[in-house]
Amino acid sequence: NQQKMAKSKTTRIQNLLAAALLGALSYTTTQLAAQEGTSPVETTKRAESPEPPAYRPWTLGLEAGTTGLGGSLAWRFSEHFGVRSGFDYFEYSDGGFAIKDLTYNAKIRVMSEPLTFDIYPWEKHSFHISVGLQFNQNRLTGTAEDAGNIIPPEKLGTLSLKVEQQPVNPYLSIGGNFFYFDHAHHWALGGELGVAYTGEPDVSLNRTGPPSALLDAAVRYEQQQVKEYAEKFMWWPVVKLMVTYSF
């Protein structure tokens, strides 16, 4: 009887060991099958491409739009707030630039530096609302000699025109990234849409001809015409497309 009991215990132990061994083999087989189902490339990508952070604090950008060509630097110092600055510039000449009654040999310069405080409503999104200032050096200069058939050019002389906007403008915009070029969220294509209030323009129009009260009055009238034209751009649209790198 004792031998039978000992043999029974041994059999139960053997059965338990066999069951544990089969369970271990089954688990190992399942894991190997799962690994075989994943290609080495995918495994390498997972190891080398961790999930990007909620946001990256620094962003450099190259941009083009209604304020010219330029660049920007943004610092997102917390989950919901940041600051940004930039520089945009564009210049071109036009020998037939018509304003009201006269045609000018004109040069147009668009140059500004925005400085904004950025608000990010969502931590894991690049969308932001920007409030700040634009330092404005936009300028139009030009000369005109042909005053038409009413006033002979030799009596009128050469007209010199200069139009400038206010140097500091309120600035409001929204912006963000449309999509990322890479999984790590370093490179992106983004945009900005907003407006700057440039204020009442400063306009000067002078002539070089001989003294004449009548001609001076005509020039002052023409200067008012130019001012009315320039006032159409008091609300300067801000539309930008940009490529950015965040780190």
- What pLDDT, in 10s, does the model give residues 173-185? 999 999 999 999 9
The HSE-up count of residue 162 (CA atoms within 13 Å, CB side) is 6
CA-based nearest residue to 197, from 147, 106, 133: 133
Q: What is the pTM of this model?
A: 0.74
Contacts of 171 (CB under 8 A, 6+ apart): 114, 116, 130, 131, 132, 133, 134, 194, 195, 196, 238
DSSP symbol at 45: H
- Percent of all residues in the chain with a pLDDT value above 90, rounded to a whole number: 62
The HSE-up count of residue 73 (CA atoms within 13 Å, CB side) is 1
Question: Is 125 in contact with 175 (CB distance < 8 Å)?
Answer: no
Name the residue with tokens 């491409």: 49
6: confidence class by pLDDT, cuts 50, 70, 90: very low
User: How many other CB atoms sit within 10 Å of the CB of residue 192?
Assistant: 24
Quick check: 5 pLDDT over 70?
no
Q: Which two tokens stand for residue 30?
A: 């399942």
Task: Kindly list the distances between the CA atom of residue 182 and the CA atoms of 119, 120, 142, in Å, as whole numbers in the listed order.
Answer: 25, 22, 47
